[in-house]
Structure 1
Amino acid sequence: MSLTLDEARARAAMLSDVSYDLALDVTGRDDFRSRVVVRFHTEGGDTFLELYRAESLQVTLDGSPVTPVYDGRRIVLDDLKPGVHEVVVDARLQYVTDGEGLHSFVDPVDGERYVGGYLGLDITQRLFACFDQLDLKGPITLTVTADPAWTVLSNGRLTAAGGGRFGFAATPPIPCDQFVVVAGPYHSVRWEYRGLPMGWHTRRSLAAALDRDVAELRRVTEVCFDHYGEIFTEPFPFDSYDQVFVPDLNWGAMECPGCVTFNESMLPRDRVTDDDRRYRAMVIAHEMSHMWFADLVSPVWWEDAWLNESFADYMGYEVAETVAGYPGTRVSFEAAHKPGAYLADRRRSTHPVAPATEDVPDVATGMTIFDAISYGKGNAVLRQLVTWLGETDFLAGVNAHLSRHRFANATLEDLLSALDAASPRDVRGWAQVWLRQTGHDTIRVTRHGDVPVLTRTGVRPHRFTVTAYSPSLEPAGSQLVDLADEPVELPQWAGLVVVPNAHGDTFARVELDPFSHDTLARELSALADPLVRAVLWDVLLDGATPAAHLLLLALQLPREPSPTLVSAALDRTLNHLVRRVLPPAETTAALEVIAAACTAEDEPDEQRAVVLARGLARTTSDQGLLRRWLDADATDQGLALDPELRWAVVHRLAELGGLAAPQIEAERLRDGTDAGDLGTATALAARPTAEAKAAAWAAMTEVPDVSVRRFRALAAGLWSPGQRDLVTPYIAAYVAVAPALARRGSAFAAALGRAFPALALTAGELALVRAALHDDVPVVLKRYWEDELDDRLPWGP
């Protein structure tokens, strides 16, 4: 019963001036009380509020108790007279463990309890009765009854706290899916910056990690705040700014106005690598930019989700790289994120960056476009727009757009009108080929004699940097070129190696001429610029045969100086080549090649040593090495095992049959955290026995309230490419049960999709998936399955 486009349009035409006065009581451990006063103006007629699976439901309309039709999802309000109405909905609702609703979490470290409403598409109705759509924005006033010793955070500024009652100021008009409430014994660091209350918060058992990083987190917050204050003419739209690391968040982060939530993976317990810091700074910048793109100005419907995510992703990487002090952030994008966007754009599920409204007929479909197209491709396309348009005109158009639609809703056409007015260039023509059409162009290098020639296959204008190198790969020059229908000759670089789009300015595949390709494949690590190497790692790996892929890894990985690029190449090899492409008979040999490439006798760069050690822990078959590491709590080179690395060792050793259940349990007790509980689940599931696989499968499919994180941890251990005979029975079982399990909710459906068997499948097994797709498969799961089918070739009958 996901809300349809037609229903949303009809309701938006009928209603206006919506507001919510919400009271939550979270003192109960089994369920919570939700009481909301909804006020609105209507043109008259029938409408409905959404509220999911309420118990003890009581409804009052304009002061009189009523008994409306209620089917567990919608409260029908029929025959309303024109004018202003007030509906009071009082109910008991269940806590959840999958992050979709009011999530309840008990910290195994100290037994403390935390609750949080982390919302999003189709989720607000699991917390309170509402008109759950983007274009019925309204102010929300909140009161929470909770443990008096707790910290309670929400979108508005805290105005009253005493006796276990916490009151918050009304927000400006916001979409109700961006509401947030966070409650528990949080450890907090608060301060005021330029008159605005700010804070970083985490659960009490992670206090030491927050205190370790808080100076950096505060600096990044303030730098981003100042930068956005300079480039946006609209001031920061809200009255406070809290940032909270919350347990079990299904997203990387959520841009709730004035109170951003972050996945706790961004606050590591032990070692924090440079890649961790870059990524976290990027996400801080990304989410803060959402205060303007998504919160101040919101889409009308979900087809324009890219207006939120593409802009925020572009701003996140740009600001982290050029303003916040994290050089190398663009390298991370080119190496680890943009390749996934190219892959997504070749699947049947690809869609325009800005799809047509009718192509998103309901909210469930909207959930599927929060993907590599809206993020990775959209980011790259906006970078190309700024390169093509110029930053001055781009920001002039953006600022006019934000001011014109402040605290309201807007569409792509609204943005194009603002950009068109700010620039002499044909913005609408650009948008038609870049935003409204699927697919990507290809930029090719050919030779006219020794002269490099650039040509384009496709329909889009491109502006990008071309870099040339001598045959020994010494830099020979760079220039910005425009490429459209006509070839571009580069006579000044005759006989040289040429790299188009060397800085990732545009979104297009690159095909090198044979001379450039072969020279770079032999000596890629000789290039000094890591951004150019990031582009070229992708160019050289894209479309390579498995043998060529492994050869490139074996030759270049030991010499690649960038930990970011080493990590990206390893992830791509393990997550795609090994787990999707290689038949079982070739898996062991491939893992040996990868392990050899990760073996470093004496690595002076600690950052690179960490990445190589993690790669070796995931791939080696040397049980003696892994045991030595566990016993010493360090690698043979003396690198201390942080929790992530130690659990990687435990997982691999268990997978090889080198750890029994009591030894894994000892590791869980040694760790003592929820991350240790999940690591234990993965290791137990990875053991090469029929009993271990059966227990993991039962825990995944027969426990009604298994959390999303635990389900994913179990799946990570269940599907071991080297255990083909043991896991074969569960492939058909997965296909059979997944559609029913996916109806639990979108987050669990996504977890099921990510739990697709992580090994090459036979033609017959892939046929099972195709056949199942002819039946009623929930939209989110269907998208994952279709993508997996597009990414795989069968290896047997």
Structure 2
Amino acid sequence: MSLTLTEARDRAAVVSDVSYDVDLDLDLTDTTTFGVRTTVRFTVLPPTADTFLELAHGREVRVTVDGEDRGDGGYDGRRVPLTGLAAGAHEIVVDARVPYVTDGDGMHTMTDPADGERYVGAYCGMDIAQKIFACFDQNDLKATIALTVTAPPAWTVLANGATLESTDGRWRFATTLRIPPALFVVAAGPWASYRWEHAGLPFGWHARASLAAELDRDAAELRAITEGCYDHFAELFEEPYPFDSYDQVLVPGLNWGAQEMPGCVTYRDEYLPRGAVPEDLRLFRAAVIAHEMSHMWFGDLATMTWWEDTWLQESFADYMGYRVAADGAGFHGALLGHEVGRKPNAYDADRRRSTHPVAPEAEDVPDVDSAATIFDAISYSKGNSVLRQLVTWLGDETFLRGVNTYLTRFRFANATLDDFVAALDEASDRDVRSWVELWLRTTGFDTIRVERDAAGVPVLHRDGTRPHRIRVTAYDDGAREVASELVDVADEPVPLPSYAGLAVVPNSHGETFARITLDDVSATVVATGLCRVDDDLTRAVLWTMLFDRVQTRELGPDEFVDLVARNLPGERSATMVSSVLNRTLGRVLPLRVPAAEAPAVLATLASACSTGLEHATSPDLARAFASGYADTCDDPEPLLGWLASDAVGELPLAPALRWRAVRRLAALGTLDEEAIAAEGARDAGSDGRVGAAAALAARPTAQAKADAWAVVSDPDVDNRLFTAAMEGLWSPGQADLLAPYVDRYLAEAPTWAARGQAFAQVVGRAFPALLLTEEQTGRLRNALEGDLPTVLRRQWEDRLDDLG
């Protein structure tokens, strides 16, 4: 029963001045449900109103309306009807017990296998606050929230507001400013904590007790990133940081990478790995920290009215995340991960049937389930890229002037695209509204082509309708940079006479969102010397161009893999190595390589990684190549040597890399169940739990696949174990063994996905990771004719389009 746009508008028309008192009982004498009493105060506009509160899956529900006990109040398992309310103030009290969950959608609970400690977290979001407490679960009914929590005395409880008192397991928090219920958070457990003060505010980083050593290892870096971003936002934004504290918690089981809860941001605790932190994760982690802090203004202070304006939060936070990670925290390579790792996904998304404008119309998002499908690469990565182009086009000073007008005008209120455009219009003498119509209200992307005239002069052509301001960089035949300049590309061709005879790369720093195609001269230089191009961002743009050509079938998978084999060993960026390998294994192999040819592709990639590892010039590069080798090699002896020495040459074998090697050895049939169990006993924590599940599922036997299927089809399986077992199950090179499970996945996944929006995304991401046969593709089409959860349908339709 997903909230509809019509219901949200009707409710917002009669309800105002909302506040909540929430009292949570997390006493562990009942490990299946928690207790919650919610007191909701609000005003009804005249004359009278019928409306409802949401509360999902409540048990023992008791409802009191303005002091009158109404029993269960007509509660139907999802909603509490409120009928005939007179104009004026009302108070509703709802008492209930509500189930804990293990799928990350609600009051998530996890017992840490490393030490037996339990953690509980209220992970909210779209249609999820109602799984915690009774509420008007929509963005434009912002409310203050006063929270009290009863928890085991040894626990620390964190929430949106600063702690006012905590005695013998009873916690009371400062009442929040006006926020949507979707931004409510609680994180409870025996946290390891690192606390300090900065700019007059209390700050903290927190992680599971079993990760205390890793938190201590990274605390100085995490603090420096936090302070650098905070201080930089203070320079960019005129509105001060709006909340009373800033905690950041690395929590178990979170479905998103992170969530921007005011005053208490949550991150998946995989961002705090054991062993050395890989370069790409360090850069991405810094960008995510900046991204979530940006949300304190974009989303938490000024909040979208309805979900069509998801971009008003996510596009801005994505853009600001990479920008501020570089300029505020000094992580200047963070943008590279966007250009080569995430922007390609936005190009893929924008050519599917499910594409949508960065800013769709409200009516195009009729309910919250539909809204869940647009938290995607278009709202994040394309929106980020479009905003980069807007800043390039407007100028930074003008852009920030408009942003500050918008934030001040809608502080603790709700806003729409028109509100933001009006603020930019006031700041600029350019035609912002026309720009917005071209870029934000339409789908697809332009193509910028390089051609040559008779004299060998490169000429830029635009196929499309949008104006682009981009950097063009010229190279000699040895891929050495000769010159670079910003140019405007619109309706008329743009000749570049000073670059006659040279290779040229348009959009060389990724300033816009457009496909690029090169002329023969430029393409030859790229094919023979991509790894010699000095600038990281330009290499990222070129790799993205190659990804695009494989997806559109202009470049065969064999040719692409050959380019990877020739260029990847000479790559200087660990982030680039990881991104290219992830794309090749995660997109090219399962979408373009017939199952019978997969082993040959893996062997080619393994050879490239082995060469790269042999010549790696830094530990970060060595780790990236070693990870790729562990995923692809067909010779067990080197991997067995790694396990025996607990090292890769001079490089210590980090737990994550060790488990990759174990999983590959299991997939090759080298490690049996007993050997995997021994590895699990060696690593008794959560990494070992999911690592062993993936390895057991990867074994090339019918029994192993049947056992894995039993794990994932358990209705109570948690999200992390499900993902790990599915990743191991779909090991490349086992197509015949996996064929029955393709059919079983198509038949059973809809039931699994019914657990909730976020778990449906987990189920959709677990789609068979092998190229489907024609018959299997036909069965996918047949499945799409049936009744499917909205989120899963979107993911399956996307997969079908990607196979085209």
Give the alignment's TM-score, normalised by structure 2.
Answer: 0.98
Q: CA deviation at 1:541?
A: 3.5
CA distances 1:699-740 after superposition (whole Å, capped 9, x unpaired): 111x12101111111101111221111110111111111112
Q: State whether residues 708 and 747 of structure 1, in contact with CA within 8 Å, keep that contact through their aligned partners in structure 2.
A: no
Partner of 1:47: 51
Q: Which amino acid aligns with 1:616?
A: Y
Q: Secondary structure at the match of 2:652?
A: coil
Q: Secondary structure at the match of 2:563?
A: helix
Q: Which amino acid aligns with 2:167?
A: G
Q: Distance in 2 between matches of 1:270 and 1:248?
A: 20
Matches within 5 A, 1:101-140: 101-140=106-145
Partner of 1:525: 531
Matches within 5 A, 1:324-473: 324-449=329-454, 450-473=456-479
Q: CA deviation at 1:656?
A: 0.6
Q: Distance in 2 between matches of 1:603 and 1:341?
A: 31
Q: State whether residues 698 and 728 of structure 2, in contact with CA within 8 Å, keep that contact through their aligned partners in structure 1.
A: yes
Q: Does 1:647 align with 2:659?
A: yes
Q: Secondary structure at the match of 1:201?
A: strand
Q: State whether residues 630 and 646 of structure 1, in contact with CA within 8 Å, keep that contact through their aligned partners in structure 2.
A: yes
Q: Does 1:566 align with 2:577?
A: yes
Q: CA deviation at 1:322?
A: 2.4
Q: Distance in 2 between matches of 1:110 and 1:573?
A: 38
CA distances 1:95-123 after superposition (whole Å, capped 9, x unpaired): 11111111111111111111010110010
CA distances 1:391-415 after superposition (whole Å, capped 9, x unpaired): 1110111110111111000000000
Residue from 642, 653, 666 that aligns with 1:629 = 642
Partner of 1:586: 597
Q: CA deviation at 1:329?
A: 1.2
Q: Secondary structure at the match of 1:75?
A: strand
Partner of 2:736: 725
CA distances 1:443-473 after superposition (whole Å, capped 9, x unpaired): 0000112111001000100001001112222
Q: Secondary structure at the match of 1:171?
A: coil
Partner of 2:285: 280
Count of paired positions = 791
Q: Distance in 1 between matches of 2:735 and 2:347?
A: 30
Q: State whether residues 633 and 640 of structure 1, in contact with CA within 8 Å, keep that contact through their aligned partners in structure 2.
A: yes
Q: State whether residues 58 and 90 of structure 1, in contact with CA within 8 Å, keep that contact through their aligned partners in structure 2.
A: yes
Q: Does 1:545 align with 2:549?
A: no
Q: Does 1:751 align with 2:756?
A: no
Q: CA deviation at 1:573?
A: 0.7
Q: Which amino acid aligns with 1:50?
A: E
Partner of 1:666: 678
Partner of 1:248: 253
Partner of 1:694: 706
Q: Distance in 2 between matches of 1:599 and 1:152?
A: 47
Partner of 1:616: 629
Q: State whether residues 749 and 763 of structure 2, in contact with CA within 8 Å, keep that contact through their aligned partners in structure 1.
A: yes
Q: State whether residues 162 and 174 of structure 2, in contact with CA within 8 Å, keep that contact through their aligned partners in structure 1.
A: yes
Q: Distance in 2 between matches of 1:770 and 1:718?
A: 23
CA distances 1:200-224 after superposition (whole Å, capped 9, x unpaired): 1111110110111111111111111
Partner of 1:26: 26
Q: Does 1:149 align with 2:161?
A: no
Residue from 57, 64, 69 that aligns with 1:60 = 64
Q: Distance in 2 between matches of 1:776 and 1:275?
A: 40
Q: Distance in 2 between matches of 1:437 and 1:562?
A: 35
Q: Distance in 2 between matches of 1:509 and 1:147?
A: 55
Partner of 1:487: 493
Matches within 5 A, 1:498-517: 498-517=504-523
Q: State whether residues 344 and 547 of structure 2, in contact with CA within 8 Å, keep that contact through their aligned partners in structure 1.
A: no
Partner of 1:657: 669
CA distances 1:59-82 after superposition (whole Å, capped 9, x unpaired): 100011013221100010111111
Q: Which amino acid aligns with 2:598?
A: T
Partner of 1:474: 480
Moved over 3 A (4+): none
Partner of 1:3: 3
Q: Secondary structure at the match of 1:722?
A: coil
Q: Which amino acid aligns with 2:512?
A: T
Q: Distance in 2 between matches of 1:576 and 1:224?
A: 34
Q: Distance in 2 between matches of 1:244 and 1:732?
A: 40
Q: Distance in 1 between matches of 2:548 and 2:104?
A: 36
- Aligned residues: percent identity? 57
Q: Secondary structure at the match of 2:247?
A: strand
Q: Which amino acid aligns with 1:559?
A: G
Q: CA deviation at 1:641?
A: 1.1
Q: Secondary structure at the match of 2:16?
A: strand
CA distances 1:666-696 after superposition (whole Å, capped 9, x unpaired): 0001011011100111111111111111111
Q: CA deviation at 1:278?
A: 1.1
Q: State whether residues 465 and 501 of structure 1, in contact with CA within 8 Å, keep that contact through their aligned partners in structure 2.
A: yes
Q: State whether residues 521 and 540 of structure 1, in contact with CA within 8 Å, keep that contact through their aligned partners in structure 2.
A: no
Q: Distance in 1 between matches of 2:734 and 2:280?
A: 32
Q: Which amino acid aligns with 1:656?
A: L
CA distances 1:280-300 after superposition (whole Å, capped 9, x unpaired): 111111000100000000000
Q: CA deviation at 1:604?
A: 3.4
Q: Distance in 2 between matches of 1:129 and 1:474?
A: 62
Q: State whether residues 578 and 587 of structure 1, in contact with CA within 8 Å, keep that contact through their aligned partners in structure 2.
A: yes
Partner of 2:198: 193
Q: Which amino acid aligns with 2:7?
A: E
Q: Distance in 2 between matches of 1:445 and 1:37?
A: 64
Q: State whether residues 656 and 687 of structure 2, in contact with CA within 8 Å, keep that contact through their aligned partners in structure 1.
A: no
Q: CA deviation at 1:326?
A: 1.0
Q: Which amino acid aligns with 2:53?
A: L
Q: Secondary structure at the match of 2:76?
A: coil
Q: Which amino acid aligns with 2:70?
A: V
Q: Distance in 1 between matches of 2:360 and 2:547?
A: 30
Q: Which amino acid aligns with 1:53?
A: H
Matches within 5 A, 1:211-226: 211-226=216-231
Partner of 2:775: 764
Q: State whether residues 61 and 75 of structure 2, in contact with CA within 8 Å, keep that contact through their aligned partners in structure 1.
A: no
Q: Distance in 1 between matches of 2:15 and 2:616?
A: 65
Q: Which amino acid aligns with 1:162?
A: T
Q: CA deviation at 1:337?
A: 0.9
Q: State whether residues 723 and 766 of structure 2, in contact with CA within 8 Å, keep that contact through their aligned partners in structure 1.
A: yes
Q: State whether residues 614 and 645 of structure 1, in contact with CA within 8 Å, keep that contact through their aligned partners in structure 2.
A: yes
Q: Distance in 1 between matches of 2:715 and 2:303?
A: 36
Q: State whether residues 340 and 543 of structure 2, in contact with CA within 8 Å, keep that contact through their aligned partners in structure 1.
A: yes
Partner of 1:209: 214
Q: Secondary structure at the match of 1:82?
A: strand
Q: Does 1:318 align with 2:318?
A: no
Q: Distance in 2 between matches of 1:721 and 1:202?
A: 35
Q: Which amino acid aligns with 1:481?
A: V
Q: CA deviation at 1:474?
A: 2.3
More displaced 10-residue stretch of structure 1: 235-244 or 518-527: 518-527
Q: CA deviation at 1:602?
A: 4.4
Q: Distance in 2 between matches of 1:355 and 1:215?
A: 42
Partner of 1:173: 178
Q: CA deviation at 1:563?
A: 1.1
Q: State whether residues 517 and 540 of structure 1, in contact with CA within 8 Å, keep that contact through their aligned partners in structure 2.
A: no
Give the alignment's TM-score, normalised by structure 1.
Answer: 0.98
Unaligned stretches of 5+ residues in structure 2: 550-554
Partner of 2:552: none
Residue from 675, 678, 694 that aligns with 1:682 = 694
Q: Secondary structure at the match of 1:473?
A: coil
Q: CA deviation at 1:273?
A: 2.3
